[in-house]
A and B are shown apart, each in its own frame.
Chain A
Amino acid sequence: MSKMLRKGLALAALGLALIGGQAMAASEADEPRAPSGGWNFDGPFGKFDMAQLQRGYKVYREVCSACHAMDLMYFRNLGQKGGPFYDPKYPNPNDNPYVKSLAKDIQVKDIDNDTGDPVQRPATPADKFPAPFPNEPAARASNGGALPPDLSVISKAREGGPSYIYSLVGLGFNAPVPAGLTVPAGKYFNPYFVGDVSSAWHGKGPAPKGGFISMPPPLAPGKVTFDDKTPSTVQQQAKDVAAFLAWAAEPKQEERKAFGLGAMIYLFLLTVIVYFSYRRIWRNVSH
């Protein structure tokens, strides 16, 4: 390997680091923060905490689902391997009684087979999570003109992922609004929401980072009662719902990491074996 090319590689790494650093500096909001202790599903060996996913689902169901759809989610997903209510006794999640009972509490739209009339019926595990609004104009009309985005893959659709969601709903609304900032009617200041508040800024110094969001603060202490008696603080609710959304964005990510471990070990052993074959085959060639 020539020195030149080795230097080139080092420079390439540096260049990539530079691009990454710059891209972050360009955003106009506070850097999202992970909860203290981080996320236990981070890293190559990270796994979801089932209890946390269950609490997170409850927060979504009782709070967020009033405004946000999750179009890619089916009730059966809750009982699949790696899901919040997975039970090894029921490898087919459609049979999982707990998932069935969760679904049954929710009404979904259907057509009456005899009359053709639209009806409501209790959901089954095979049903999608129903959307809170029949269409986009209806969603906007109920939210001061803003559209609550679908939350199915929101954790992948925002820089910072779960930490962003946690910061947005768990920390951002608690911060006092800086004196000198005029918050428009129907909007809320949130330092983690990317925006530009300079036109509403009359205070000293540069305008604060953050933006005006049309989502009213969704969480409040005690708003959700957790079945496992976890104290229901705003930050706890935010942490749990962010974990649930991180899972929902890629329900098979635990499978991905587990499969990856096997694949890496296999490839590593193969690499070693091929390397020694290489050394053996080339032993008599001077080059």
Chain B
Amino acid sequence: MSGHSTYEPKTGFERWLDTRLPIIRFMNDTALDFPTPKNLNYWWTFGGILALMLGIQIVTGIVLAMHYVPHVDYAFNSVERIRRDVNYGWLIQFMHANGASMFFLAVYVHIFRNLYYGSYKAPREVLWILGCVIYLLMIITAFMGYVLPWGQMSFHGAVVITNLIGALPVVGKSITTWLWGGFAVDDPTLNRFFSLHYLMPFVIAGVVILHIWALHVPGNNNPKGVDVKSKADTVPFHPYYTVKDGFAICVFLLMYATFVFYMPDVLGDAINYVKANPLVTPQHIVPEWYLLPFYAILRAVPNKLMGVILMFAAIAVLFILPWLDTSKVRSMRYRPTARLYLGIFFLACLVLGFCGANPPDQPILGHEPSGFMLLDADINSIVWLSRIGALYYFAYFLLVMPILGLTETPLPVPEGISEPVLSHPAAAPTGAAAAPEKRG
């Protein structure tokens, strides 16, 4: 889509089609000949992995839907029937359930890759925003999917999350009732969640097409974060990146298969093997691992409405990231200080995940609370750890990113992908970075 087309129709039919619907030309230019920086590392393979995971979720999901019964009395047993009585149903069901976790694992790597290499900066803002839309849709899809097997955690998780909307002033209650299709999470809720859970992946697929379109206008970023200058900086996508992505996909599938075949239940919660019972509330209601950090942010705030707002803000802030980062240098290879703060941010996300998995009043060090109350909670408690984590989460985006870009001194940035020398433009002898064509 960028640059001129390299496609030459060979047969009569191809020429005929090319003047009517140039679809082969389009496929050739986007998927085969697309000029791609030659220095992409393995962190760039996760986009392909994500596309594959979306495909796997859709295919396994369609087969599951053939056997699943969206009714409060039958949903739990129908999932078990799929595992027990449908041919290879166990395979399909475990692939779908573990596939969701793998999908999120891949998307988190993909997002952190972008944070590290500054791929969200101009001219890739729209690409990044579309990615954020995909991520939001993924969260919604996964949440509704988790409700479908109608286990204890499915049900009570759905109750907790839908009730959050009730915290909105004035309209909250009516919206919740409308969402539930009644006055509690019940059969109508399950039915509509099933319907929407089936729909959403196709919406995601649509946004993914836009995402790739937006990728192919500016082209890929790369580990050096500098612009592609000439053809010598790139290789055609096929076969160079089809084979590299292919290798990474195989390794990823090996890991995925290890979960599916040898530990299909470790990522789930045992209590979800108990059929939903509205009258018995589990001791600890926790979401799946990939949503734990947001859950921790929600619970860090004593006021429910503020908690909900903050939780949504944690995702919303991603959308404006391109304008929060003031640094002109894309890749953190040349931003040692930024690297440190990003490392701490990564740690903060893990800490928040840890907080989300544990009850708020649980002590962190030892088994006893410190006995020292700070405001409303003991300082040796998950609540305070979540608050520190959440504070850093937002401070990273809202303070560190804007300020650091203005104050830090980045390392010298290479002028192009093919230049090996990291030279201070001032100190280096003139012409040192010249003649990139000689290499590659």
**Residues of A bordering B, CB below 8 Å:** 1-2, 4-5, 7-8, 11-12, 15, 18-19, 22-23, 25-26, 44, 71-72, 77, 149-150, 152-153, 156-159, 249-252, 255-257, 259-261, 263-264, 267-268, 270-271, 274-275, 277-278, 281-282, 285-287
Known: A8-B343, A12-B350, A19-B358; 4 extra A-B contacts, CB below 8 A, are A11-B350, A264-B258, A267-B253, A278-B246
Can you name 11 A-B residue pairings with CB atoms under 8 Å?
A2-B116, A5-B43, A11-B346, A12-B350, A26-B362, A260-B262, A264-B258, A267-B254, A277-B246, A278-B244, A282-B243
Q: Mark B105-116, 1 if CB is under 8 A from A, else 0.
A: 000000010001
Residues of B within 8 A of A256 (CB): 90-91, 94, 261, 264
Known: A15-B354, A282-B240. A156 touches B273 (CB 8 A): yes
Most chain A Cβ neighbours within 10 Å, of B83, B264, B332, B439 = B83
Question: Assuming the A-B contacts A22-B358, A153-B80, are A274 and B42 also in contact, with contact meaning beta carbons closer than 8 angstroms in the complex?
Answer: no
Point out the residues of chain A lying under 8 angstroms from B254, CB to CB: 264, 267-268, 271
Contact indicator A23/B357 (Cβ below 8 Å): yes
- Interface membership of B339, Cβ < 8 A: yes
> Is B273 a contact of A257 with CB atoms below 8 Å?
no
Q: How far is the CA of A157 from the CA of B247 in the complex (A)?
A: 37
B343–A4 CB distance below 8 A: yes
Contacts of B80 in A (CB 8 A): 72, 152-153
Q: Given A15-B354, A250-B90, does the pair A1, B257 have CB atoms closer than 8 Å?
A: no
Nearest-Cβ distance from residue A100 to partner chain B, whole angstroms: 20
Q: Give A275 to B332 CA distance when docked, in angstroms.
A: 29
Quote the shortest CB–CB distance from B244 to chain A (angstroms): 6
Which residues of the other chain, A, contact B262 by a CB distance below 8 angstroms?
A: 44, 257, 260
1/0 per residue, CB under 8 A from A, across B77-104: the answer is 1001101100000110010000000000
Q: Which of A15, A250, A263, A271 contacts B250 (CB 8 A)?
A: A271
Q: Which residues of B contact A19 (CB under 8 A)?
A: 289, 353-354, 357-358
A264 touches which of B112, B261, B353 (Cβ 8 Å): B261
| Cβ 8 A contact of B354, one of A4, A22, A255 | A22
B301 on the A face (CB < 8 A)? no
**B window 237-255: CB within 8 A of A:** 239-240, 243-244, 246-247, 250-251, 253-254
Identify A252's interface contact among B42, B84, B253, B271, CB under 8 A.
B84
Is there contact, CB below 8 Å, between B357 and A71?
no
Provided the pairs A15-B354, A19-B354, A157-B273 are in contact, do residues A8 and B112 lie with their beta carbons within 8 angstroms?
yes
Task: Please give the distance in Å from B361's CB to the nearest CB on chain A.
Answer: 11
Contacting residue for B440 out of A1, A71, A286, CB 8 A: A286
Please judge, given known A-B contacts A72-B77, A152-B80, whether A287 and B440 are in contact too, CB under 8 Å.
yes
Contact A5 B91 (CB under 8 A): no
Contact A157 B43 (CB under 8 A): no
B265 interface residue (CB < 8 Å to A): yes
Q: Are A267 and B250 in contact (CB under 8 A)?
A: yes
B residues 217-246 with Cβ under 8 Å of A? 235, 239-240, 243-244, 246
B359, CB-defined interface residue at 8 Å:
yes
Residues in B with CB closer than 8 Å to A278 are 243-244, 246-247
Task: List residues of chain A with CB within 8 A of the CB of B257.
Answer: 260, 263-264, 267
Report the separation of the CA atoms of residues A252 and B142 in the bound assembly, to the nearest whole angstrom: 26
Instruction: Decide yes or no whether B50 CB sits under 8 A from chain A.
Output: no
A275 cross-chain contacts in B, Cβ below 8 A: 247, 250
Q: Tell whether A252 pairs with B339 under 8 Å between CB atoms, given A22-B354, A72-B77, A285-B440.
A: no
| Cα–Cα distance between A7 and B440 once the two chains are bound (Å) | 31
Residue ID in chain A nearest B255 by CB atoms: A267
Q: Which residues of A contact B284 (CB under 8 A)?
A: 26
**Chain A residues positioned under 8 Å from B42 (CB to CB):** 1
Instruction: With CB as the reference atom, state the residue of chain B lying closest to A273.
Output: B250
Instruction: Compute how far the CA of A252 lies from the CA of B260 in the bound complex, rounded to whole angstroms.
Output: 13
A169 to B264, CA, bound (A): 26
**Complex interface: chain B residues within 8 A of A257 (CB):** 261-262
Contact of B358 among A2, A26, A287 (CB under 8 A): A26
Task: Kindly report which residue of chain A lies nearest to residue B84, judged by CB atoms.
Answer: A251
Tell yes or no: B160 within 8 A of A by CB: no
The distance from the CB of A196 to the nearest CB of chain B, in whole angstroms, is 10
The residue of chain A having its C-beta at the shortest distance from the C-beta of B350 within the complex is: A15
Q: Which residues of B contact A255 (CB under 8 A)?
A: 90
Kindly list chain A residues whose C-beta atoms are within 8 Å of the C-beta of B81: 72
A-contacting residues, B2-51, CB 8 Å: 38-39, 41-43
How far is it, in angstroms, between the C-alpha of A44 and the C-alpha of B260 when the chains are bound? Answer: 12
Q: In the complex, which residues of chain B have a beta carbon less than 8 angstroms from the beta carbon of A158?
A: 270
Interface flag for B373 (CB, 8 Å): no
Task: Say if the beta carbon of B333 comes within 8 Å of chain A.
Answer: yes
* A residues in contact with B112, CB < 8 Å: 5, 8
User: Given that A22-B354, A72-B80, A157-B270 are known contacts, is A271 also in contact with B359, CB under 8 Å in the complex?
Assistant: no
Contact partner of B251 (CB less than 8 A), chosen from A149, A271, A282, is A271
Q: Which residues of B contact A285 (CB under 8 A)?
A: 38, 235, 240, 440
CB neighbours (8 Å) of B116 from chain A are: 2, 4-5
Contacts of A251 in B (CB 8 A): 84
Contacts of B94 in A (CB 8 A): 256
B435 to chain A, nearest CB (A): 14
A252 → B minimal CB distance (Å): 5
Asked if B136 CB lies within 8 Å of chain A CBs, one says no
A156 near B91: Cβ-Cβ < 8 Å: no
Cα(A249)–Cα(B284), bound, Å? 24
Q: Is B274 an interface residue (CB 8 A)?
A: yes
Q: Which 9 pairs from chain A and chain B are nearest by CB?
A: A260-B261, A157-B273, A15-B350, A271-B250, A156-B273, A274-B247, A287-B38, A278-B243, A153-B273
Q: Distance in Å from the Cβ of A117 to the closest Cβ of chain B?
A: 26
B347 CB–A CB distance under 8 Å: yes
Given A23-B358, A264-B258, A271-B254: A281 in contact with B240 (beta carbons within 8 A): yes
Known: A22-B358, A252-B84, A271-B251. A157 touches B274 (CB 8 A): yes
From A44, A158, A260, residue with most partner B Cβ within 10 Å: A260
